[in-house]
Amino acid sequence: MHPTRAPAASRLLFAFILLPLLLGGCATTLSQSEAQAVAGKTYVITGASSGFGRGVALKLAAMRANVVLAARRTEVLDEVAAQARAAGGNPLVVTTDVARPEDVQRLATATVERFGRIDVWINNAGVGAIGEFEKIPLEDHARIVDVNLKGVIYGSHVALRQFRQQGQGVLVNIGSVESEVPLAYQATYASTKAAVLSLGRALREELRLSGQQHIAIATVLPWAADTPFFEHAANYSGHAPRMAWMDDPDKVADIIVRATVYPREEVPAGWKARGAYWSHRIAPDITERLSANIAHTEQFEKAGPAPNGSNAVHQPTPAGTGVDGGVRARMEREDAARKAGQ
C-alpha cells in the first residue's frame, strides 16, 4: 500500500487536538466525599476480565461498592473478584456473553437477587477487527456488531427496565473517539461505536419526554488506550496492532468511574479524545483524512509482523487479562529495532 503521505499530518492533527487545552481540562479522580457516595452502590460491569472493565471494577471495589463482574472468562473473573474482595468491595461473578440476550437478562436477575437493585450499569464489553474491510471475514464483522452494538442494546434494555422500576439509576455506555471520528482499518468497530453514541442520545430524549429525571445516561469516548483490546482484536493487517499516542488505561478508568457519579451526555476521555471530538466538528474531512494517514503509518509502516486471525472475537483466549495491554512497550521495541535497521 502506498497512500499519499503527508509528513505534516500528525503535527496538524496534534494541533487540532491541543484545542481543548485552551478550553480547560476536567478532573478525573473522585474526592474522598465523592468516593463515599459510591460505597454500598451496586455496579454491573461487562467486559470486567481485562482492560477498562477490570480497572473500573477494582477502583469501585476500593470504594467499597458492590461490583458485579461480567465477561466470558469465568476463571479470570474469579481472579478479579478475589482482588476486589481484598480491596474492600463486595463482588459477584456472572459469566456472560453480552451477545446473548438470555445471558444479559440472567446477569440482571442475578444482580437483583443478590443486592436488591442496580444503581449503575456499565456496558463496557467490546471487540474489534483491524485490517482492510473486505479482507476481514464477514463472520468477524457480524460478531463485532453482535457484541459492540447488540450487546449494548441488550444491556441498556434490561438496565433501563430495572431503573424505571426503581425510579433511578445510571447507564454508562463505553463508546470510543471513533464514535465521532471513524478510523480507517477499523470500519466495523467505528460504525458500532457511532451507533452506541446515537443510542445514548436517543435514549436520553426518551427519558426526558417521559419525565424520568432520576435516570441518567452517559457515553464515554476514550482515545486509543493501552489495554488487551489490541491483543484480543481480530487482525488481518499482517502487522501487530498499534496506534499513536496511546493513553494510560488507568486514567481512562478514572474518567469512567467519575462519569458514573457525574453522568454527562458525552464524555470524551482525556484531552486527546476531546481534541479529536472537537476537531471533527470543526473540520470533519481533514480530521478523518489525517487520522487515516496516521493509522496507516502506524499499522502498516511501523508495526512488526503478526499472523492474521480472529483471536478472541469469537472465543475467549487465556491471554490478555490485565488492565494494561503492554502495547506501548512493544511499540518502543519496534521503533528501536526499526531505527537500528533491523
Residues serving a catalytic function are 189
Distances (CA, A) of 241 to 52, 185, 229, 246, 303: 18, 11, 10, 12, 7
SS (H, E, C) the chain: CCCCCCCCHHHHHHHHHCHHHHHCCCCCCCCHHHHHHHCCCEEEEECCCCHHHHHHHHHHHHCCCEEEEEECCHHHHHHHHHHHHHHCCEEEEEECCCCCHHHHHHHHHHHHHHHCCCCEEEECCCCCEECCHHHCCHHHHHHHHHHHHHHHHHHHHHHHHHHHHHCCEEEEEECCHHHCCCCCCCHHHHHHHHHHHHHHHHHHHHHHHCCCCCEEEEEEEECCECCCHHHHCEECCCECCCCCCCECHHHHHHHHHHHHHCCCCEEEECHHHHHHHHHHHHCHHHHHHHHHHHHHHHHHHHCCECCCECCCCCCCCCCCCCCCCCHHHHHHHHHHHHHCCC
Q: How many CA atoms lie within 13 A of 86 on its CB side?
A: 6
